[in-house]
Amino acid sequence: MKFKATRIAIIATLLGASALTASAEGFTPENPECIAPANPGGGWDFTCRQVGKSLQDQGLIGSTMQVVNLAGGGGGVAYAEVVNKRSDDNDLIVAASSATATRLAQGAYPGNTMDQVRWLASVGADYGVIAVAADSEIDNLTELLDMVKNDPTSISVAGGSAVGGWDHLKVLIAANAYGIDDVRSVKYIAFDGGGEAVTQLLAGSVQAFTGDISEAKGFVDSGDIRVVAVLSPERLGGDFAEFPTAREQGVDAIGANWRGFYAPGNMSDEAYDAWVAQIATLYASDEWKQIMADNGLAPLDLQGAEFEAFVANSVAQIEQISREIGIIQ
203 contacts: CB under 8 Å, gap ≥ 6: none
Given a contact cutoff of 8 angstroms between Cβ atoms, the answer to whether 160 and 167 are in contact is: yes
DSSP letters for 219-230: HHHTTSEEEEEE
Given a contact cutoff of 8 angstroms between Cβ atoms, the answer to whether 259 and 123 are in contact is: yes
pLDDT tens column, 124-166: 998 999 999 999 999 999 999 999 999 999 999 999 988 888 8
274 contacts: CB under 8 Å, gap ≥ 6: 22, 23, 24, 25, 26, 27, 28
Mean pLDDT of 219-246: 93
Given a contact cutoff of 8 angstroms between Cβ atoms, the answer to whether 14 and 256 are in contact is: yes
Given a contact cutoff of 8 angstroms between Cβ atoms, the answer to whether 204 and 231 are in contact is: no
237 contacts: CB under 8 Å, gap ≥ 6: 293
* Ordered domains of the chain (ranges, CATH): 12-126+256-324 (3.40.190.150), 127-249 (3.40.190.10)
pLDDT tens column, 87-131: 999 999 999 999 999 999 999 999 999 999 999 999 999 899 999
Alpha helix ranges (H) inside 151-193: 166-177
Indicate the pTM of the whole model: 0.77
State the chain's mean pLDDT as an integer.
Answer: 90
DSSP letters for 258-285: EEEEEEETT--HHHHHHHHHHHHHHHHS
